[in-house]
Amino acid sequence: MTIGSGRATIAIGTGSPSAPQPKPARATAAPSPADLHAAMALAVDLRNALASVLLGSDDAVTAAVVAALSGSHLLIEDVPGVGKTVLARALATALGAGLARIQGHPDLLPSDVTGVSVFAQDTGSWEFRPGPVFAPVVLLDELNRTPPRTQSALLEAMEEGQVSVDGTSWPLPRPHLVVATQNPVGQLGTYPLVESQLDRFGLSTTIGYPDVEVEQRLVLHDGGRDALAALTPAGSPATWAAAIEATSAVTVTPAVAAYAVAVVRATRTAAAVRLGASPRAAIALIRCAQAHAVLDQRAYATPDDVQGVAVACLAHRLVVDGTATGRTVLDEVLAATPVPVL
Amino acid sequence: MSRPGRRLPDGRRMHPHVHPQALFGPMVGSIAGLVAWAGISRSSGSGWVQTVGVLVAAVLATGLITPALVAARARVWCVASPADAVAGSPVTVVVTTTGPFRLRPLSPPGAPVTAAGPARGGRPVDLEVVPPLRGVIDELVVSVDSAAPFGLLWWGRHHRVPLARPLHVAPRASGDTEQDTRHDDRPGDVGRDVPAPSGTARSVRAYQPGDRPSTVHWPQSAHVGSLMVREAEHPTDEPVVVDVVLPDDLLAAERRAGEAMATLVALLHRGERVVLVTDEPEGRITAPVTDSVDAGRRLARAVAPPVGTPHRGGP
Amino acid sequence: MNLWQRVVDANRPGPPEHSLRFRAATTAAVAVAVAACHAQGELSTPVAVGTLVATLAGNVLSYRTRQRPWPVVKPLLAVCVLGGFAWFLLTVNRTATPGDVASVEAPLATLFCWVLATHAFDVPSRRDVAYSLAGSAALVALAAAQSVDAGFALFVALWVLCVLVALVSMWQSMASVTGAPWGLLGGSVATTAAVALGLLVVLPAPQVATSLVFPSSSTGDAPVTSPSHLTDGNPTTPARSAAPSGRLGVGGYLGFARSLDTADRVALGNQVVLRVRASRPGYWVGQTYDTWSGRSWSETGGNGSRLRVLTGGSPYAIPVAGDAQAPLAANTTDVDTFYLAESGPNLVFHTENASRVYLDTPRLFLSADGTIVSSSSMAAGTVYTVVSEDNTATPAQLRSASPGGPEPVTSLTAAQEARYLQLPHPYRRVSALAHRIAGGRDRYDAVVSLERWMGTHIHYSTNIPPLPAGVDAVDSFLFRTRVGYCEQISTALTVMLRTLGIPAREAVGYVPGSYNPVTDLYDVRAKDAHAWVQVWFPGYGWQSFDPTARVPLANPSPGAVLATGLDHLAGRLPWVPIGGALVATGVVLAAVRLARRRPPTWAHRVVHDLERAGQRVLAPRATGETLVAYADRLAEALGPPGAGVPAAARSVERSVFGGETPRPAEVAAATAAARSARRVAARSARQGAARAARQAPAHGLSGGRAPGPRRRRPRRRPEDGTA
């Protein structure tokens, strides 16, 4: 179920709004091979569903699936109208989870995102109305047009997994996926995020303008919203949570881990880089590589996985000087870091 | 500002080849000792004196000459260096050397550091340098000295060590230091400046330190039991334009850059949007400044305008 | 900074020295130096022990108080040092004898020890410890000045080792180097040894200026009581020519006696009997004999009569003997110092024509032929110096000399001539032989021709059968055996010369011996005892001729000594076993290294084949290119034959990164695919090269995509600035 813009305070479908959400049951045993196979199946289904909706954007589809499987948040930097909302909706539908959409604008308050305590006249007490962030999948459009305080509130909630209002903590659902979009920088009236805030997003991607053929197909009602309407859920929040657990158990040999760490460390001393990737980035890189391996139907992570997710995972965390971008810097770093072969 | 060529910024010559330091004492002592020994061996009763003298001469020769070979093979390279610094404050640069050498930063100046560790093998060293003036520093000049194996004479060589990334040395913000909130230890909300909201009230929220007392919504505060203030729209604010023209004289330019830095820091702290206009080697640059680090970089790169530019008034 | 400030700055004490190894090594160096001085007799035992104890205590105290030295220490030490200097000056004034350095050296050594011991109490900083080290060098120099034998090398080696350890520790503490300094120490020892060796070879041999000092000392004052005044070292035992169980030989003669029995067979030992400092080598003459009996030589008047007695104490001026006239012009003066290493006969050895003898003895006995005998016995440790006037003439001069020539300054009296032509019986056969060889020539050429004949017709050996009884030694030697050593050869030459009417006599003494470049001394061994011939030339006196030995003209340089020593060593080393051992070691090491290398697994082989294949067709695998990406690129470049390559790469990745051992079929397939890829690549590389040689290459087998990490096709990015 979706919610409109942040001004109204409407409860969302999952769980009672006035009580803290119960945590989903977590598996106490280590994930079994069957769990891994289920995760692989879910990954393939997700990708097929997203690819049918978002024609031709393989990078964005892969990034979305990896974000879903690794439990990281996704940042889409793109111009309006290329299908960001469609992607988020398709993801939510395929995962069988509810989607909440927040439109960012300079008047957005933190309470519009996290929820607000309302004074109920009849009971004479303050009630907490949960905000849109309490949905399993949250789409926040134009993150860089929201004022800084709201940005901080959202990112803090993402980091801690809970919302504190009036001394009470309301936990966010698990699993939780935030898809935030921003317009490319250079426009007036934006509040660009600081590096420490961008670091909270595990992956970043763009969708870009489609090819001629794809655009023609879209116009002819193939893909896009029409495909979205025909989408069926491939899983449920429970299977999604299990898939995340199984992904985190994918084999990572010390060689691959060392390679990921080497790449991250190389970004810190690369030329034209003002601020490199943090250790949090290295952890995120490995988790995304594991998710990429699951998507590739493998139970082990390889350097190919690391290279495949490196740009998505690291480019937005780098602060570069001059005319270089995160992508160019990462291309150089990946070309220069020796890959473990044996 | 890096200066290629044979001179360090303070005018001393740069020696790219190994040269001894404080040669006078050890050389004179050795020669005097050996001459005295030769005299004794001629007038003694045994040729053993000459043999022992030859051994002592060999020890002295080894101790005086080997450091030159060791210092000539020394290598230094920068592992990590920060991107920003403030003139007059120490900056730590991590370099790696290939042996137990003594490193003396020459430009920018710093205290000598001995690279401790085993006799072989590279080891990281933290060099603390203090850039005296603002600018962009691409490389350090470090003297790498060795006195191996006997410690009789130090031989050294001046190395140019390219930094891992260019170091922008911002001018020290001079003048009013009240604006520096990093070191504001005063209690309470005195001096904190939260952007004053103006415009129509939109909603009510909890009080945050720094809010003006005039925005407190008393009825709602009475209801809730704690202070609530009115939330207002943020105005779209016009940026403040700061135009910096630096004089040609180095020290005067440093002072003026310091004043500009102080002004920029104050404005940024107040939450204003600032656009900085400076002259750089490529021409006049007009661009917004997002934080004090960015301001420092812009001022580090700024130069005096080329001769012939019409004079622009004001700081 | 002006000069005064600079001096003050330079003298400021540095930071305290914490390195314990540095201090310990310096103390050890001082201890070795003190021990060396004590071994040379310059320090008495209480002084040496006291210095050691004081140095140790001082160092401990300085180490304890190094952070805050006691202010009372410096003035106290200054007073002590001044007192030491005062004592030294007084002692030297009282006991020193002019011209005797040794009498100064002992108090000097004691003064150095005193200064070192007091300085050890005030060594807080690095510079002070270094000064202690330099002080030990002065002590070692003092000890070296007195030592004459090779045993001092032990002290030198130990001291140099301590100094090297101390210096390396000093540098370690200066540069904050951690860890044991073994590598550095080994390197510095090797470098120092190499430099020292180079310097030793390059520098000239040490030339001790013997014209300044004439050392002499004696260790025993026992007067000699034997009737002939010649003893064998024991004051009361007359010197005997042979003893079956002589100390210096087996069945050989003990030393020098009043007669020389050529029937004795010698086997002399290798011990050093005396050491000589001489500016140039020469024969050390002991005695001469003039009466030949057919088997043995003896000396007229050797039983004690006709001896001149010289009294008065050292130095003794030797008057020119009756038959040795004043030397001619253009001669050189030799100053030779003799250090006795073993107690021996109380002969004063000298080069010919001794003019002054510096010997600590009440009387000297002089015989007519120039033999000098001391009145005290000479034990080991006796030192005496002899100044001689060299009168060796050149062959041209000797050729021109003839009896009755112009101005015969020197000539023999008739009685002397008769003595030196004495023969026990007319040697007819010997005379005929001598006349056949050298008849009709002048004196010099006669001697030379006889020498040459000896060289070609006589075989030198010390291993000869005993002389049968009743047989004349010269007859037997010249006509029967033709084998002998210096005694037989020189006796035969003398007899032959006498048959020719040339006055000649037998001289015995020592050849110069081996020159030790380190101590600047000739080491004369027992086996260097020698007999040679002296021939009278009117006008020039007695000239020595030696048909047996070759004597060099000058002291050899250290480089030459080193070269010959190495030559001998190289000749004696067993090279074949050494070479075999080295080769075997090399083989063992190579085998161990080969065995330790892990055997390549199938994954290694596959990767190796793929990389080789790729090298032949396109650029090698880039640094940042994964195996799978590289394999895809390779399969694209190879076409249909490379179909199995991507699967092979994925198998490798599965086994390496997934930890799963693949099935044998999969392993075989991967290995086969890689191998075939390599073959195909090699073939097409050859074909491609041939084709390229024939035509301009349209397109080679270059890969489609550029090497690099695997990239998806980039999307078109929206331009900046559009909303």
- Nearest by CB to A107, which of B80, B164, B233? B233
C647 contact A CB<8A: no
Residue, of A161 and C560, whose pLDDT is higher: A161
Q: Do B25 and C520 touch (CB under 8 A)?
A: no
Query: Using 50, 70 and 90 to split pLDDT, how confident is the model at C303?
Result: low
**Burial status of residue B42 (CB atoms within 10 A of its CB: 0-12, 13-18, 19 or more):** middle
Calculate mean pLDDT across residues C685-701: 56
pLDDT tens track for C376-414: 777 777 888 888 887 777 777 777 765 444 444 556 777
Lowest-confidence segment of A121-130, C32-41, C446-455, C588-597 by average pLDDT: A121-130
Q: Please name the residue of chain A whose CA is at the shortest distance from the CA of residue C654.
A: A300
- What does the block give as tokens for C255? 């030393």
Helix B250-269 / helix B292-301 crossing angle, nearest 10 deg? 160
Percentage of chain C beyond pLDDT 90 is 10
| 8-state DSSP, C292 | E
Lowest-confidence segment of A152-166, A249-263, B115-129, B155-169 by average pLDDT: B115-129
How distant is the Cα of A327 from the closest Cα of chain C, in angstroms?
A: 11
pLDDT of C249:
38
C709 contact A CB<8A: yes
Q: Say if residue B314's pLDDT is above 50.
A: no
The rounded distance, in Å, linking the Cα atoms of B8 and C681 is 57
Q: Say if residue C520's pLDDT is above 80.
A: no
Q: Say if residue A188's pLDDT is above 70.
A: no
The answer to whether the CB of C130 falls within 8 A of the CB of B151 is: no
- Nearest by CB to B41, which of C168, C206, C516? C206
Q: Do C718 and A209 touch (CB under 8 A)?
A: yes
Query: Using 50, 70 and 90 to split pLDDT, how confident is the model at A290?
Result: very high
Q: Do C145 and B49 touch (CB under 8 A)?
A: yes
- Inter-chain contacts counted by CB atoms under 8 A, chains A and B: 23
3-state secondary structure of C172: helix
Q: Do B80 and A147 touch (CB under 8 A)?
A: no
| 8-state DSSP, C344 | B
pLDDT of A48:
92
Instruction: State pTM to two decimals.
Output: 0.60
C227 contact B CB<8A: no
Q: Say if residue C30's pLDDT is above 90.
A: yes
C582 contact B CB<8A: no
Q: Say if residue B310's pLDDT is above 90.
A: no
Q: Say if residue C92's pLDDT is above 90.
A: no
How distant is the Cα of C348 from the closest Cα of chain B, in angstroms?
A: 20
Calculate mean pLDDT across residues C350-360: 84
Q: Do A275 and B223 touch (CB under 8 A)?
A: no
Q: Do C188 and B46 touch (CB under 8 A)?
A: no
Calculate mean pLDDT across residues A250-258: 93
Q: How many CB atoms lie within 10 A of CB A234?
A: 20
Q: Say if residue C720's pLDDT is above 70.
A: no
Between vectors from CA B210 to CA B208 and to CA B214, what angle results, nearest 5°?
A: 90
pLDDT of B250:
87
Peptide bond into B108 cis (omega under 30): yes
Q: Say if residue A211's pLDDT is above 80.
A: yes
A272 contact B CB<8A: yes
Q: Say if residue C163's pLDDT is above 90.
A: yes
Q: Do A253 and C657 touch (CB under 8 A)?
A: yes
The rounded distance, in Å, linking the Cα atoms of C717 and C719 is 6
Residue, of B128 and A127, whose pLDDT is higher: B128
Q: Do C144 and B37 touch (CB under 8 A)?
A: no
> What residue spans in chain A does CATH classification 3.40.50.300 cover?
33-249
> How much is the mean pLDDT over chain B?
79
Tell me the chain A residues in contact with residue B165 when contact means C-beta distances shorter than 8 Å. 269, 271-274
Tell me the chain C residues in contact with residue A209 when contact means C-beta distances shorter than 8 Å. 715-716, 718
Residue, of A122 and B86, whose pLDDT is higher: B86
Q: Say if residue C283's pLDDT is above 70.
A: yes
Among A246, A309, A302, A278, smallest CA distance to A59 is for A309
Specify the residue for token string 């020295």: C17
A20 contact B CB<8A: no
pLDDT tens track for C361-370: 888 888 777 7
Per DSSP, helices labelled H in C96-217 are 102-119, 126-146, 152-175, 182-202
Q: Do C626 and A302 touch (CB under 8 A)?
A: yes
List for chain C the helix, strand, coil content (%; round to 5). Answer: 45, 15, 40
* Range of A194-198, C52-56, C269-273 with top mean pLDDT: C52-56
- What does the block give as tokens for A11? 């409860």
Tell me the chain A residues in contact with residue B203 when contact means C-beta distances shorter than 8 Å. 109, 111
Peptide bond into B132 cis (omega under 30): no
C77 contact B CB<8A: no
Q: Do A147 and B234 touch (CB under 8 A)?
A: yes
Tell me the chain B residues in contact with residue C137 when contact means C-beta distances shorter than 8 Å. 56
How distant is the Cα of B250 from the closest Cα of chain C, in angstroms?
A: 29
Tell me the chain B residues in contact with residue C556 when contact means C-beta distances shorter than 8 Å. none
Q: Say if residue A336's pLDDT is above 70.
A: yes
The answer to whether the CB of B176 falls within 8 A of the CB of B94 is: no
> How much is the mean pLDDT over chain C?
78
Give CATH superfamily name and number for A33-249: P-loop containing nucleotide triphosphate hydrolases (3.40.50.300)
The rounded distance, in Å, linking the Cα atoms of B47 and C712 is 84
- Nearest by CB to A335, which of C627, C654, C708? C708
Q: Say if residue B186's pLDDT is above 70.
A: no
Query: Using 50, 70 and 90 to split pLDDT, how confident is the model at C713?
Result: very low
Which chains have 3+ CB pairs within 8 A of C?
A: A, B
Q: Which helix (H) or strand (E) holds C356?
A: strand C354-358
Q: Please name the residue of chain A whose CA is at the shortest distance from the CA of residue B168.
A: A274
Q: Do B148 and C152 touch (CB under 8 A)?
A: no
Supply the CATH classification number for the domain A250-342: 1.10.8.80
Q: How many CB atoms lie within 10 A of CB C434?
A: 26
The rounded distance, in Å, linking the Cα atoms of A163 and A171 is 6
Q: Do B165 and A269 touch (CB under 8 A)?
A: yes
- Nearest by CB to A208, which of C604, C715, C721? C715
The rounded distance, in Å, linking the Cα atoms of A303 and A308 is 8
Q: Do A268 and B80 touch (CB under 8 A)?
A: yes
pLDDT of B232:
62
How distant is the Cα of A189 from the closest Cα of chain B, in angstroms?
A: 8
Tell me the chain B residues in contact with residue C562 when contact means C-beta distances shorter than 8 Å. none
Tell me the chain B residues in contact with residue A109 when contact means C-beta distances shorter than 8 Å. 203, 205, 231
The answer to whether the CB of C254 falls within 8 A of the CB of C241 is: yes
Between vectors from CA A84 to CA A81 and to CA A90, what angle results, nearest 5°?
A: 125
